[in-house]
Chain A
Amino acid sequence: MTNPPYDVIIGLEVHVQLRTNTKLFCRCSTEFGNPPNTQTCPVCLGLPGALPVMNRKAYELSVKTALALNCNIPNFTKWDRKQYYYPDLPKGYQISQFDLPMSENGYLAISSPDGEFEDKNVGIIRAHLEEDAGKSMHDEAQGLADTRIDLNRTGTPLLEIVSEPDMRSAEEARAYLQELRLLLTYLDVSDCNMQEGSLRVDANVNLHVHTETDEKIATPIVEVKNMNSFRAVERALHYEVKRQYEIWQETGNRIGDVPKQTRGWDDNAQLTRAQREKEESSDYRYFPDPDLVPVTITNEQVEAFQQQIPELPAALREKLVDEFSLTPYTADVIVNQGPEVVAYFQSLAEHTGDAKQSGNWVQGEVLRVLKEEDWELSEFPISAEGLADLLKAIQQGELNNSRGKEVFSEMLSAGTSAADAMAALGIEKVDDSALEDLCREIVMANPKVISDVQSGNEKAVGALIGQAKQKNPNVNPGQVRQICLDIINAL
């Protein structure tokens, strides 16, 4: 397939709801899912005379996030009013940050273990803090435009993370979002629940079309909204790229020829639709909010937050490869599960002394069970120490890997220790002399195998392993094979 005659240019704006108990400028709860308008007060309702007071916790979570995104944290930041009229914005303006955001100039590294794209740093233009608006629920049934407003969400702290237009494909955009969500999970600053709106994504996308004279022509930028999952983002971007190239071929419109358009992703129809043009242009008449004092932070305070940042995914992947000798693939799988699974793996590796075995078990068995049962790791009944006992028994030859998996299932269903599960399954270590006797008996009963092996076909001994297991299920197949060969060779 030849390359398409254009580059895809994607920038993402991600709104992250920060994990605070109370709103950004008042003390109302931020809990999701309560009856409409039960989490409001004069401040978030924008009642006359009410004044905002900043929730420092929200600022601190933002600083941590911005530092993890390699951003600069200015010592001084301020609040601005973004003014527009909408019924879910009761003050007639949103308190946001305009020209002096709380952080800027960072990046997020993304990579593709299966080689979909080359590793790259996606630039972060800025991350700034702002208050959320309420929710409008439009009910246009019966021909009456009836809109209900829920202001529970009004004033919830949002961190808006604006990337550079550095992504060149929908796959890169998805990888950026996954890595960003993982980072936020490690930082524990947001629950990142897209269904509940804790993580919202808008994409800016256009094309740089290649001409025959090797020029690149930028097409008009389109902002895509309403994407409620990462899969939706990926699909919407694929759709939009295709659509924009068709429009380019039809119209030849370049950037600046038409106003920036906003389109909404329709997940059912799997296409984007032009949204109603905003009544007013993007003149938000920003100006500094005189009700709030600027926020200051010292370099020492920034440094203190830097110290609080836990090990982050990119560093952990390297660590699991370098220090634990995992394959990059296994390291990626484990790290992408979040900090709890990484900690479980590290504890397991420490107890077993075998990181590779531990990695395989976590990746193969533990994660399989979590997925099948739809469990969080905290719900997983086998502790790292408990699993380590089983893995050590395997290392010591008390049982093989496949018997180990049976024991693992028994431990899960019965909730017992490795030793108890092994006992319940009748697994006990076979005495060395008893094993020798067993092997000798089988060898003698199979002259054909003896002659095959003696004539150079060592594989023939495999038939004896099955017979040994029938007589005693606890025998170690490797040991049986070696002992039988030794007996035959000594004949």
Chain B
Amino acid sequence: MIDLSATSLLAKLQSGEVSSEEVTAAFLDRINAVESRVGAFLKVNSESAMQAAQAVDKKRRSGAPLGKLAGIPIAVKDILCTEGEATTCGSRMLEHYVPPYNATVVEHLLASDAIVIGRTNMDEFAMGSSTENSAYKPTSNPWDLERIPGGSSGGAAACLAAAMAPLSIGTDTGGSIRQPAALCGVVGLKPTYGRVSRFGLVAFASSLDQVGPMATTVEDTALLLETIAGHDRRDSTSAKIDVPQYTASVNSPLENLTIGVVPSHYQDGLDTEIESAVKEAIRVYESLGARIKEIEMPHAQYGIATYYFIAPFEASGNLARYDGAHYGYRTDQQTMLDELSEEANQTDGAGESPLVRMYRKSRSEGFGSEVQRRVMLGTYALSEGYYDAYYLKALKVRRLIRADYDSAFDQVDCILGPVTASPAFRRGEKTNDPLAMYLEDLYTVNANLAGVAGISLPCGLTSENLPIGLHLQAAPFQEEKLLKVANMYQSATDWHTRRPEIQ
């Protein structure tokens, strides 16, 4: 049962062949069996999930109307506020923080009668590409437990690959859904900026963050996107654009499909096995009748540099609120006061005020090193005298990147390419090289900078049996097209059906 897609499980639930209680119990059993090795979850809702499943079963028996995901277990990344449940963002800073409200996406899930089975591990405040920046624990890639699952939605991808949940919610600021989906051999979609409400999503970089669906099939991805998308009056940046019935069209191939390929994607640095797998995917599309067109994205090369200004600018502001004053981690008061009075003896009373010391110590102790690095980067680059050189320049490049996409989408339906330059690396391999880690986002950041939609789906395995992801991108609010095109590939191939043997 745990190998079935959510769509198949729904059919069985609707026909009465299985109950949500049975489905939920099966996934909880799987979690019991493999979670200790994978470490995808920060919290598993064993009891409340079973209660919710029983409630949905009861509701179904009573004939009451049911939501789109009635009875289907789902994992939620620990960055979406859930009323009454600790929402930690993988940070010590929010270890005991319990939000008093639900994120809009969580409300949609509850209204759809989905069963929230647990909260998944992530890089602290979504900053990272390996989930090694979680303050709590690393997550292993189910295909090779020595390797990272990608990040920041590493737990969200790993729990799908390990069949601990059929559906999962991730978030993507520079590739945080698509890169772990690629490395774990599952499907992950970053919607157009504004497609899904950010209300209740703990902000990393507000102009880049999007919540998105993760699943094992394109069809399930369509189902989950349909459930969570739509305008939200509580998020000024969410779009007032109707949400199509993605599930109704996902199985119809797109006619007269033109796919764009970017020659510069295949230059130095791309793993040869990934290159072959992606090129094989191009041939699959050709065999399905698609026209392949070479396109140029001349400013794509500046994406990483631009992203690593814009994201830290926004993060430095968004994370200013974690100062120990109102909620979250605060440094030990007595230790701090002792420290200050000792210093005052030595410096004749001069020195830092207790308030400033409280801020400094709380933030130094509550944030991990990657978060501190990015907050400092952003703070520095926004400082007086640097604004024009960094912020305005980054904004200009961002507009040029968007212009590249606009002209590309005048010519093609989708842009096809690799998701990552290499398969999952070993834990610790890039820990001491932040720049190498930042290059994990090479192929994904531009979709965030431009605000377009992108999807990652499995398209092969390396000789070491590690998944390879295929990246498809479509114009803003063209998720329907993106899902159709992705599903054409899945209908013609079986990479998405491969599952790891967990050692």
Spell out A's residues near B (CB within 8 Å).
42, 45-54, 81, 83, 85, 87, 90-93, 145, 149, 279, 283, 285-287, 290-293
Contact = CB atoms under 8 A, between A and B. Distances in A.
A49 B320 contact: no
B383 A283 contact: yes
A59 to B, nearest CB: 13
B206 A48 contact: no
Given A42-B101, A283-B383, A287-B387, 19 more contacts: A47-B99, A47-B101, A48-B87, A48-B203, A49-B202, A51-B234, A52-B236, A53-B234, A53-B236, A85-B320, A87-B326, A87-B355, A91-B321, A92-B323, A149-B325, A149-B326, A285-B316, A287-B313, A290-B237
B242 interface: no
Contacts of B236: 51-54, 291-293
Interface string B357-397: 00100000000000000000001001110010001000000
A316 B152 CA distance: 65
Interface stretch (B130-138, B193-201, B212-220, B294-302): B193-201
B435 to A, nearest CB: 25
B433 to A, nearest CB: 29
Contacts of A52: 236
22 contacts: A46-B321, A47-B101, A48-B203, A50-B199, A51-B237, A53-B233, A83-B316, A83-B320, A90-B325, A91-B320, A92-B317, A92-B320, A145-B354, A285-B317, A285-B384, A286-B387, A290-B205, A290-B314, A291-B206, A291-B237, A293-B236, A293-B237
A490 to B, nearest CB: 90
A342 to B, nearest CB: 41
Interface in B235-282: 235-237
B94 interface: yes
Contact of B89 (A48, A54, A87, A93): A48
A286 B383 CA distance: 9
Interface of B: 80-81, 87, 89, 94, 97, 99-101, 103, 198-203, 205-207, 233-237, 313-314, 316-317, 319-321, 323, 325-327, 353-356, 359, 379, 382-384, 387, 391
B97 A48 contact: yes
Contact of A49 (B99, B316, B353, B387): B99
B382 A285 contact: yes
B234 A92 contact: no
A158 to B, nearest CB: 20
A149 B87 CA distance: 25
A273 B205 CA distance: 42
A81 B316 CA distance: 11
B383 A287 contact: no
Report whether over half of chain A's contact residues are helix, strand or loop; otherwise say mixed.
Answer: loop
B321 A290 contact: no
A396 to B, nearest CB: 64
Nearest to B313: A287
Give the one of B199, B201, B233, B356 with max A CB within 10 A: B199
Nearest to B94: A48
Contact of B326 (A54, A90, A145, A290): A90
Nearest to B386: A285
Contacts of B379: 285
Contact of A85 (B237, B323, B384): B323
Given A85-B320, A85-B323, A48 B233 contact: no
A50 B205 CA distance: 14
B317 A81 contact: yes
Closest 5 CB pairs of A and B: A92-B320, A290-B206, A290-B207, A285-B382, A48-B202
Contacts of A53: 233-236
Contacts of A145: 354
B317 A83 contact: yes
Contacts of A149: 325-326
Given A47-B327, A145-B354, A292-B236, A287 B391 contact: yes
B451 to A, nearest CB: 12
Nearest to A25: B236
A17 to B, nearest CB: 23
Nearest to A145: B354
A279 B357 CA distance: 12
B127 to A, nearest CB: 15
Contact of A87 (B97, B99, B201, B325): B325
A90 B317 contact: no
Give the one of A46, A52, A92, A149 with max B CB within 10 A: A92
A85 B313 contact: no
A51 B387 contact: no
Contact of A48 (B81, B205, B316, B387): B81
Contact of A279 (B100, B201, B237, B356): B356
Contacts of B384: 283, 285
A39 to B, nearest CB: 15
Contacts of B383: 283, 285
Contacts of A286: 387
A144 to B, nearest CB: 10
A92 B314 CA distance: 12
Contacts of A291: 203, 206, 236-237
Nearest to B203: A49
A214 to B, nearest CB: 37
Nearest to B87: A48
A155 to B, nearest CB: 14
B199 A90 contact: no
A145 B326 CA distance: 17
A53 B237 CA distance: 9
A54 B94 CA distance: 28
A326 to B, nearest CB: 50
Contacts of A90: 321, 325-326
A49 B317 contact: no
A45 B382 CA distance: 25
Nearest to B125: A48
Nearest to B91: A48
A42 B100 contact: yes
A86 B356 CA distance: 9
A397 B326 CA distance: 74
A49 B103 contact: yes
A184 B317 CA distance: 34
A83 B318 CA distance: 10
Nearest to B379: A285
Nearest to B80: A49
A93 to B, nearest CB: 6
Given A42-B100, A92-B323, A285-B379, A49 B234 contact: no
Contacts of A290: 205-207, 237, 314
Give the one of A51, A279, A292, A293 with max B CB within 10 A: A51
